[in-house]
Structure 1
Amino acid sequence: MVERDLDLKAAAAVIGVGSTTLQLHLAGEHVRSDSARKYENWLAERETSNIFVLAQPSHDVEPEEATEDLPPPPARPRLVVDVFSGCGGLSLGFDLLGDGAHFRTILALDIQPKPIATLNRNAALLGRGDYPVGQTTDLTQFMNEAEFLAFYLQHVGGALNNSAIHTRLFGLRNGAFPEFLDAVADADRLFLDELRAIRSMPAWREELEALDQRALDQTSVIGFHEKLALPRPSRKVAGLPRLLWGEASSDPGEARPKKWKPDTTFLEVAQWEWDEEARTLAAKQEAEGEGQLIVSPRRVGGFVRFLNTESMRSVRKSWMVWHARRLQLRSELFADESFAEAVRTLYTETAQVSVLVGGPPCQGFSRIGRGKIRSLRDARVHVHGNAEAGDSRNLLFQQYVMVLGALRPDVFVFENVQHFESVVKVDGGEFQATDILAEAIANVSDGEANYEVASDILDASRFGIPQTRLRYFMVGVLARPGAASASMEALGCLALRRDREAPMALALAGLPAPAVVGGEIKGGDAMASLAMIDDSVLGDHPFVQWIRRPRPGATTAPAAVDAHASRAARADDAAFFSLMGPGKRWMDYRADAAPTIGELANLIDALLALPVSIYEVLASTQRKGLLLPDRDALKALRNRVDGALSLRLLLEHTGEKLGESHHLLGGNYMDKREGNHGDWVARMDASRPAKTMVSHMGKDTYAYIHPYAPRTISVREAARIQSFPDWFSFGSAALTDAFRMVGNAVPPMLSHAIAGKVAHVLSRREADRGAGRLKA
C-alpha cells in the first residue's frame, strides 16, 4: 500500500473488501477466503473483479508421468491410531493403501458418538470384524501417558483378538490393573445407589415437578451434565453415561461396595469442577437472544435455581465424593513409576503403533504458554480440574502431545485449518501456533530420539480432488541413530504428486435426482434410500477411478449408494436458485457501482427535500393514477434504493410469481455484504473444483446450491466432493450429522497420497532395522 501510495481505506476500496477486513488480513488474522484471494490478486496485479468464484482457477499443471510405485507391503499391516477422528477420513486413506496391506487403523477416538458409529460401520466393511475400532472418548479425561497406554492395550487386545495382551496387562504389578477396574466399578455402583436413593425421595419429585422440563433440553444444560458425566434429572432409574474405565474386570455378584473417605486434594478438585461448570451455566442466563432464543436464558435460569435445591445439593455432594474417588484411584495406579514402566514395555513388545494421525482444534493455542508445554511430560498425573488448565480447548492440544509421547510412533501426521499458521495474540504478546506445536513435539524427545518435522499448506484441488480445500499439514518423523535424515523424510511425505484438476461435475456424475427430506419424506428414510449409479457417464478421470474403486475384499464397485439425500428447498428459494448463474453468490447480484441507482436515490432525495406545501399543490393538480407518493411512501422507497436493488428486484419477481413475498426480503438479509455472509446463498460451478466443504452444512446448505438443479447438494454429493468412495456407508446417520462429519473430514484421496509417502519411509526403516543399521 505504501508503494502504491494508498491509505488503508483507499486500498480496501480498490481491492474490493472492507477496510476492517483488510486490516484483519494484514494483521495475520483469519478472513474469508474470497477476501484473501482478492488481496492476493491485487498484490500480484492480476485481473480481478468483485465477482466471487467458487474455486481457484485451474493451475494448468501437467500431471507427472507416472505414480510412484508402492514398496512391498509388510508381513502384517502397520498399526495406525487416529485421534479427533470424526468419521475417519484421514485414517481411511491409510487403510486403503494397497487395499489394506500396508496400514490398519487399530484405534480411532472422538468425543462425538455419531461419527464414531459411521467409522465403525465402515471399518466392518473393510473386514475389521465386529470389535469396534472407534471409541467415543474424551481425550481430556486421560491423566498421563501410562493411562493412555493401558487404555490402548486393553482396546488393542480385543481389536486384534489377542488374549495374550490382556493376560499380560492384567498381570502387571501383581494384578494392579484388574483391581483398579473393580474399585472404579465399585465407586460407580455406590454413586448410582446414592443417586437412586435421592431420586426416590418426595423432595426430589416435588422439586423436579417445579422445574420447566424444557430446561433440560437446553444445549448449555445438556453440556453441564455431559461435562460432569452426571445423569440428567428424571424420575427414572439413573444410569451413568459411557465413562473411561467404566467396566469392572469381574462380576461383582451381590456384594455391596464399601464406602470410603477420599483424599482431600481430589475432593477439592471435584468441588472446583462442579462449581466451575455451575458458574459457566449461571452466566448463560444473562444472555440475550431473538425469536426462540428469548426463552432460552429463562429456562437456563430455572435450571440454575434447581441446582440450589436441597435434592441437587445432595446430588452435588455425592457426585463430588464419586468423582474424587475415581481421580484418586487413577492417580494411585497411573502415577506409579513401576506400573508406567511395565505398561510401556508391554506396549513396545506387543502392538507398537507406526503412525499417529489427527489434529486437535486450534482454538486452544490462544492461551497456552511455553512453560506449560515444557512441563507436560514432567507431570506424572495431569489433573484438569483446576484454574491452571484455563480454556478447556487447551487440553485438546495438551492431550495430542501426550498421546504422541505415549505411542512414540515412527511418523505422525497433523492436520488443521489453513489459518493455523496465523499469529496468535495473547497477554500483550504474539506467537506462531506452529512454533508452539513444534516446541511441544520437541519436548517428546526421550534423549535418544526426537521428531524432525515438515509442514505445508496443501490444496486438495491440486491433487485431483474436485474441491478447493486448503489445509495445514505437519508430518513428523522420529529420528533414530542409523536412520536416514528424518527431516528430509518428513519433507518427502508432503512432496505429493500433482494431478490434473478435477471439476465438480465429476463428483455429480452418474447420480440420479436425490431423495428430498421434507414433507412426508423423513430424513432417515431419505438417507437409507439407495440411489443407483449410472457408470456409463463417469469417464476415466483418476478421481472417478478413486470414488468407484471397490472396497478391499470386493471385486466390483457398488451399484447403488446411500445418503443421496438433500434438504427440501422452500418454493421461493427454489425459484430464486433457478435465476442464479453457476458460480454466483446472491451478493454478486448487488449493483453498488451502478450509476442508475445513485441517480434514482438523488431524485428521491430531491423530492423529499421539497416543502410540504408543494406536495399539497401537486396532489390537487395531478391526474388520477399519476399521484406523487406521499412522504412516508417516498421514504420507504428511498430505503430500498441502494446497491441491493437489483437483488431485491429478483427476489420480488420470484415472490410475485408465487403469490407471496420472498422470505429473504424480510429481517436483515438484505444488509449482508462482503465479509458478512455474502456467500451464504451461492450456486456452485460444475466446471471448477467446488468450494470447501465445511461442518456448517449440518445447519444449512444454502452456500452449496447444485449447479444445475434448483436445490442444494446431497450428503452423497458432498461426500464425493470430499473424495469418500461410493462404498463408504453412512448407515443410520441423520442428514444433519452426516453433513457435519463430511465437512469436518480430511479428503481420503489426499490422505492416501500422504500414506504412500509414509509407507516408503517405514519400509526403508524396516529394511535398515533388519540389516542392523537402525537401532530399535
Structure 2
Amino acid sequence: MDVRPILQKIQRLRGGGRAPRVLDLFAGCGGFSLGFKRAGYDVVAAVEFDANAAQSHGNNFHPGEWQHAVPRDITCTPPSKLAEELRLGDVSLAVDVLIGGPPCQAFARVGRSKLREIAEHPEAFRHDSRARLYIEYLRYVEAFAPLAVVMENVPDMLNHGGHNLAEEIAEVLEAKGYVCSYSLFNAAFYGVPQMRERMLLIAVHREVASDVMLPKPTHWIELPQGYVGSRAVALKLLASKTALGGRHHYVEAPLPASDLEKAVTTRDAISDLPPINALTLLKEGVLKRGRKAFDVAIPYSGTTQSGYVHTMRRWPGYEGKAAVYDHVIRYLPRDYRIFAGLKPGDQYPEAHKYAVKLFEEQLAALKSKGAEVAEGTVEWHSLRASIVPPYDAGKFPNKWRKMEADQPARTLLAHLGKDGYSHIHHDSSQARPISVREAARLQSFPDGFSFAGTMNPAFRQIGNAVPPLLAWRVASTLRQQITAAVADVDAYPIKSRTAT
C-alpha cells in the first residue's frame, strides 16, 4: 500500500482543529458512527444495504441530505462511485478511519490461504459468494488507505467453521502495512446496560503507531457463567498453536477492577420511561393489533434520573425532548398474563408451566359454573391455545426471559424484530416485552436518536447495532494514538518518503 496518502492525512490533521473523518461500512442505523462522532470524529459517509437502517443513518448524521440516506449494496458500489455520489473528493485522501464489519457468514469456510489470495488477486474470486463481502471490505481499505480500521463482529468469528477469521483478517491487514490486535469485549464493562459480548479488531497503520491501544473498562460486573462458557468456546482455536501457525494477533482485553463503578442495570437504564401497563390497556381497548408508528408523544414519568438516564437524555447533539415518540410495544394479548406471573430470570420452561396453570385454573372456574369442558374436545383445544403457547418447553428453553432489574440486560439480538420474548420487562405490573425506546436505552442509544420505519424494523436496527457507548470508548482510545502520530509528524517529512 502506498504510504503517501497516509502521510498526507497525518499532515492534514496536524493543520489544527480538524476532526478525523470516518467511513462506516455495513453501518446499520449508526451505533458505531454515533460513538465515533461523540469522540470527535466527522462521520462523512456510510454504506448500508437495508433501506430503513440507511434512512436512520442519513437522518441522524446528515439530516436533509437525501444522498446519505440511500441504501447501497457494497458489491455494486465501488469506492470511486461512493466518493462521487457523496462528493468526497480524492478517494485515497477522503477518509481517515474505516469502521464496520461484514456479516460473519461472508467468511465461512474460505480459509487462510484463499483469503490471502483474495487480498492479492480480488478479481479471481469475484463470484465466490462466501468471500464477496470480504473482498469488498478489503477493496475499501485498499482504496481509502485509512489511518486505522476497526471491525466489530460476534465472538464466534474466532471459531467459525474451524477458522479463526479474525486472525486471518489480521494477517491480510498486516500485509497492507497495519499493526493489528483483536480481542473480546463485554459492553457492560464500558457503561452499557447490557452484557453484550463482541469481537473487536483494531488495526493502525505503522506510520501512526507501532502497537494498538485497547480501551480500559469503566464499570465492573461478574458475568454469568453462560457468558464465560461462550467466551471459552470462541477462544478454543487460540489454544491450538498448530491451528494458528504458532502465532496470533489476539490480546487479552483489560479486565475491570472490582473497585470500578458497578455496571449499569436495567433499572438504571429505563426506570424514568413512562409505564405501559399492558393488561390494563388491553382491557380498555387501547392496545390493538396493527402498525405501530412513532407519532404519539408520551411524557416522561418524572421519576428520579440515574446518571445513565442523564447521559441518554443529554447526549450532545441528540438530546431528548419533553416526551418520547417510539415507546411502543408488541400486541401479544395471549401472553401478558403469563408475563405478569413470571419471576425475574424465568425463561420459557417456567413460562410454559405457569401458562398451563392458568389454563387449569380456567377449566376449574368453568367447571364451578357448570360449564365443564371435556379434555380433547374442540372447545378444550381452543381454550388451551388461547392461554398456553404452542412451543415445546424442552426445545425452546431460551426463547423467553424475564429481565432482572438489578442486572444489565442480556444480549439484544436482531430477533427482537420478530417477537420480543427474550426481553420481558422486569416490572410485573406492566406485564409486557420491552418497548422500542427501552431497547434503544439498553443498547445505549440516546433519546434524541431516531429510527426510521415502524416498530419491527426499529427493533431489528437496534439489535444489530454496535452499542454507541462501547464505540465511544474504542474511538476515544484510538484518537489518542492518532493525536500522538499527528504530534510526531515532523519525524516523518512527506518529501523524504516514497511509496512502498
TM-score (norm 1): 0.50
Corresponding residue of 1:442: 174
- Shift of the alpha carbon at 1:513? 3.1
- Shift of the alpha carbon at 1:90? 0.7
| 1:586–1:647 CA contact under 8 A, matched in 2 | no
| 2:424–2:434 CA contact under 8 A, matched in 1 | yes
- Shift of the alpha carbon at 1:729? 1.2
Corresponding residue of 2:83: 153
Structural mapping, 1:757-776, within 5 Å: 757-770=477-490, 772=492
The AA in structure 1 aligned to 2:326 is: A
CA spacing shift, 1:666–1:108, aligned 2, 3 Å: closer
Q: 1:110 is matched with which residue: 17, 28, 48?
A: 48
Hey, what's the Cα distance between the residues in 1 that align with 2:214 and 2:443? 21
- Shift of the alpha carbon at 1:419? 1.6
Is 1:691 equivalent to 2:410 in the alignment? yes
Q: Which has the higher helix share?
A: 1
Is 1:575 equivalent to 2:337 in the alignment? yes
Hey, what's the Cα distance between the residues in 2 that align with 1:655 and 1:151? 66
- Shift of the alpha carbon at 1:493? 3.2
| 2:268–2:309 CA contact under 8 A, matched in 1 | yes
Where relative contact order (Cα < 8 A, 6+ residues apart) is larger, the structure is 2
Larger radius of gyration: 1
The Cα offsets for residues 218-263 of structure 1, whole Å up to 9 and x where unpaired, read as xxxxxxxxxxxxxxxxxxxxxxxxxxxxxxxxxxxxxxxxxxxxxx
Is 1:493 equivalent to 2:214 in the alignment? yes
Is 1:422 equivalent to 2:159 in the alignment? yes
Corresponding residue of 1:368: 110
Is 1:120 equivalent to 2:62 in the alignment? no
Corresponding residue of 1:407: 144
Q: 2:275 is matched with which residue: 513, 538, 542?
A: 513
Q: Aligned with 1:751: secondary structure?
A: helix
Corresponding residue of 2:5: none
CA spacing shift, 1:762–1:529, aligned 2, 3 Å: same
CA spacing shift, 1:657–1:738, aligned 2, 3 Å: farther
Of 431-440 and 455-464, more deviation after overlay is shown by 431-440
The Cα offsets for residues 171-194 of structure 1, whole Å up to 9 and x where unpaired, read as xxxxxxxxxxxxxxxxxxxxxxxx
Hey, what's the Cα distance between the residues in 1 that align with 2:470 and 2:85? 28
Corresponding residue of 2:252: none
- Shift of the alpha carbon at 1:393? 4.1
Is 1:754 equivalent to 2:486 in the alignment? no
Hey, what's the Cα distance between the residues in 1 that align with 2:364 and 2:126? 59
Is 1:711 equivalent to 2:448 in the alignment? no
Q: 1:533 is matched with which residue: 292, 295, 300?
A: 300
Please, what is the CA RMSD of the aligned residues?
Answer: 3.0
Hey, what's the Cα distance between the residues in 2 that align with 1:521 and 1:424? 44
The AA in structure 2 aligned to 1:501 is: A
Hey, what's the Cα distance between the residues in 2 that align with 1:418 and 1:664? 38
The Cα offsets for residues 14-73 of structure 1, whole Å up to 9 and x where unpaired, read as xxxxxxxxxxxxxxxxxxxxxxxxxxxxxxxxxxxxxxxxxxxxxxxxxxxxxxxxx999
Q: Percent identity?
A: 29
Number of aligned residues: 421
Hey, what's the Cα distance between the residues in 1 that align with 2:83 and 2:340? 56
Q: Aligned with 1:761: secondary structure?
A: helix
The AA in structure 2 aligned to 1:154 is: E
Q: Aligned with 1:133: secondary structure?
A: helix
Structural mapping, 1:304-383, within 5 Å: 346-348=90-92, 351-379=93-121, 381=123
Hey, what's the Cα distance between the residues in 2 that align with 1:654 and 1:773? 82
- 5+ residue gaps in structure 2? 1-12, 220-260, 367-372, 374-382
Structural mapping, 1:350-749, within 5 Å: 351-379=93-121, 381=123, 384-385=126-127, 389=128, 392-425=129-162, 431-443=163-175, 445=176, 450-480=177-207, 483-485=208-210, 487=211, 490=212, 492-498=213-219, 499-514=261-276, 526-539=293-306, 541=307, 543-552=308-317, 557-570=320-333, 572-588=334-350, 648-653=356-361, 660-663=383-386, 665=388, 667=390, 669=391, 671-673=392-394, 676-708=395-427, 709-731=430-452, 733-749=453-469
- Shift of the alpha carbon at 1:648? 3.0
Hey, what's the Cα distance between the residues in 2 that align with 1:132 and 1:151? 13
Structural mapping, 1:261-280, within 5 Å: none
| 1:511–1:531 CA contact under 8 A, matched in 2 | no
| 2:32–2:467 CA contact under 8 A, matched in 1 | yes
- 5+ residue gaps in structure 1? 1-70, 143-147, 166-345, 426-430, 591-643
CA spacing shift, 1:90–1:559, aligned 2, 3 Å: same
Q: 1:86 is matched with which residue: 28, 31, 51?
A: 28
| 1:564–1:714 CA contact under 8 A, matched in 2 | yes
Hey, what's the Cα distance between the residues in 1 that align with 2:486 and 2:332? 55
Structural mapping, 1:197-346, within 5 Å: 346=90
- Shift of the alpha carbon at 1:111? 1.2
Hey, what's the Cα distance between the residues in 1 that align with 2:426 and 2:95? 44
Hey, what's the Cα distance between the residues in 1 that align with 2:464 and 2:15? 30
Corresponding residue of 1:290: none
The AA in structure 1 aligned to 2:489 is: R
Hey, what's the Cα distance between the residues in 2 that align with 1:372 and 1:432? 14
The Cα offsets for residues 408-454 of structure 1, whole Å up to 9 and x where unpaired, read as 211111100122112523xxxxx3222222223234x2xxxx11111
- Shift of the alpha carbon at 1:375? 2.7
Hey, what's the Cα distance between the residues in 1 that align with 2:388 and 2:269? 33
The AA in structure 2 aligned to 1:104 is: D
Hey, what's the Cα distance between the residues in 2 that align with 1:116 and 1:373? 29
The AA in structure 2 aligned to 1:757 is: T
Corresponding residue of 2:231: none
- Shift of the alpha carbon at 1:551? 3.7
CA spacing shift, 1:510–1:657, aligned 2, 3 Å: farther
Structural mapping, 1:122-141, within 5 Å: 122-124=60-62, 130-141=65-76
Hey, what's the Cα distance between the residues in 2 that align with 1:352 and 1:694? 33
Hey, what's the Cα distance between the residues in 1 that align with 2:471 and 2:330? 29
| 2:107–2:165 CA contact under 8 A, matched in 1 | yes
| 2:299–2:322 CA contact under 8 A, matched in 1 | yes
TM-score (norm 2): 0.76
| 2:58–2:69 CA contact under 8 A, matched in 1 | yes
| 2:118–2:135 CA contact under 8 A, matched in 1 | yes
- Shift of the alpha carbon at 1:76? 2.3
Hey, what's the Cα distance between the residues in 2 that align with 1:106 and 1:359? 17
Structural mapping, 1:56-75, within 5 Å: 74-75=16-17
Q: Aligned with 2:161: secondary structure?
A: strand
- Shift of the alpha carbon at 1:86? 0.7
